[in-house]
Chains A and B, each alone.
Chain A
Amino acid sequence: MAGEKEKKVSKEEVKEERKPKAPAAEEAAKKKAAAPKDEAPQEPQVDVDTLPLVKRVKEVKGEFIEDVKYFRGEITFVVEKEVIVDLCHFLKDDSETRFDFLTEVIGTHYPEREKPFEVVYHLYSTSKKHRVRIKVQLAEDEEVESVFPVWRSATWYEREVYDMLGIRFANHPDLKRILLPDDWEGHPLRKDYPLQGPPGYREAWIKAHCASTNKL
C-alpha cells in the first residue's frame, strides 16, 4: 500500500542521515552548544513579556513572579511558595485571566537541585480558553500552603502529591495517603525509592500471607 512504501523510504532516509557522522556531528554539537538547550530546531523565539497573560500577571502581581518560561506554547510562572494562595486567588478572580479550573497539582523530585522538590499547578480557563503552569520550588521538609480555598479539587491532587512524594501541604483539610495503604512507609516517586519497592518487602509479604513456601 502507498502508506507502507512511504514509510520504507523514510526509514532509509533516516539511516542515510545518520551515516556521515564525524564531520557533521562536530558541527551539530557546536550548534547545540550555541543555541539554548530547551529549544527544538523549529521553536520560534518569543519575547515572553509580549504575551497578554504574562503582561497582565506582571502588571498586577509582578512582585510574586520569580521567573517566566515559555516552551512549546506554554507559559510557566515560577513563584515563591509563600505567595501561592494569593496568586491563585488573583488568577481565579481577575477578569482577564479567569482561571476557574485547576487541572492538576503535580509534584516532582529533582534530587540534584538545591531545592529538590517542585510543586506544579496547571490551570485552565473555561471562558478564556488559556492555560498556565505555576511552579513552586521547595526544600526538603518545607511545606506549601494548600490551594484548597481556591479550588476544592485541590484536596485530592495534593493528597496524591503527599502520598507519592512526601510534600506536606499546610491547612489541608484531610492530608493522608490516597493511593497507597494508610500504613505504607516511604514515598515512591522520590528518585531514591527503588522501582521494586523497599528491599525485603516483597519477600516479607509473601512469607506473611502465602501458605506455601514456593518462591514466586
Chain B
Amino acid sequence: MAQELVLVVIKMIVVFAVALLIVAYLTYFERKIIGHMQLRLGPMRVGPHGLLQPIADGLKLFVKEDIVPHDSDRWTFYFAPILNLVCALVLLAVIPFSYNFMVTRLNIGVLYVLSLASVGTIALLLAGWSSGSKYPILGGLRSAAQIFSYEIFLGFSIMGVLMISGSLDLVKIVEAQSKVWNIVYQPVAFVVYVIAALGELNRVPFDLPEAENELVAGFHTEYSGFKFAYFFLAEYANMIVVSCMAVILFLGGWKGPVLPGIVWFLIKMCAFFYFFIWVRATFPRYRYDQFMRIGWKIMLPIALANIVVTGVVMMLV
C-alpha cells in the first residue's frame, strides 16, 4: 500500500515537472518556429540559440513588483490565476502516456477532463471580475463566453469516439484503436475537435479577446508579475492537455511500431504543437461575432450530425 503511494507520488512529481518543462519550452519553440516562418531567427541571445530564454522570462516575471489594483477584491484576485493553473495541470493526472505510465487510471477519464476544463473557465470569470475595472470585466466575459461555447462542441465531437470505443476510460479508448486509429472512422469529428481546441485555447484565429489591438485587453489586464505568469503557463498547459487528448482520442495514443509507446505519444503531441503554432503564424483573426457565429451556427450542427451518422453507421455495421 505504502509502496503504491510512493510510486504514485513519484509519478506525479515526474509528470508535473516534465509538464512544466514542456510548457516553458513550448513558449520558446513557438517563438523560434514563428520566427523562422517569418524569415527571422527568434530568440538567439540568452544561452546558445536562445535556449535559456524561458528561464529568463520566468525569472523576470518572478522578480516583478506585485501590483494589486485598489478596487479589486484582493483574495479572489490572488486565487483566480492559481485556480486556472491548477485546473490545467490536474488534468494531466489521468492522461495515459503509455500503456503502463499514468498517474492514475479513472474509468471516467473523459468526463473528468471535460468537467475540469469547465472549472478553468470559472477562473477566468473570477479573474476578470476581481480586477475591479471596466475592461477586464468585459474581456473576462468575452473570453469566458467564447471558451464555453467552444467547449460544447468539443464535447460533442468526442461523443463519436466514445460511441465507437464504448468506454469513458482513456486507456480503453486507446486499446480500441489497436487496429485502426479513430481518425479514420471520425474524420469530421477530428476537424471539429481541432477547431474547438483552437477556440478553447484562445488562440489564433480565435484570439480576438487577447489581441493587442483590441481595446479590451482581456481578463488579465490588471495582472502583472508572477500572477500573469500563472495565466500564461495555464494557457500552454491547456494546450498540452488538449493535444494529449487529441492524440489519445483520435491518433491512437501510444500505439506505433518499433519505438516505445511514450516516445510515439510525445511525437504525436509535438505534431499537434507544431500545427497550432503554424496556424498562429499564418492566419488572420476572426472578429468576435464571426467566431461565435461559426461556433454556434456551423460547428455545433456539424458535431451533432456527426453523432447521428456515427450512431446510424454503428447500427448498420
Direct touching of A and B (C-beta under 8 Å): no
Which residues of A are in contact with B by a Cβ distance under 8 Å? none
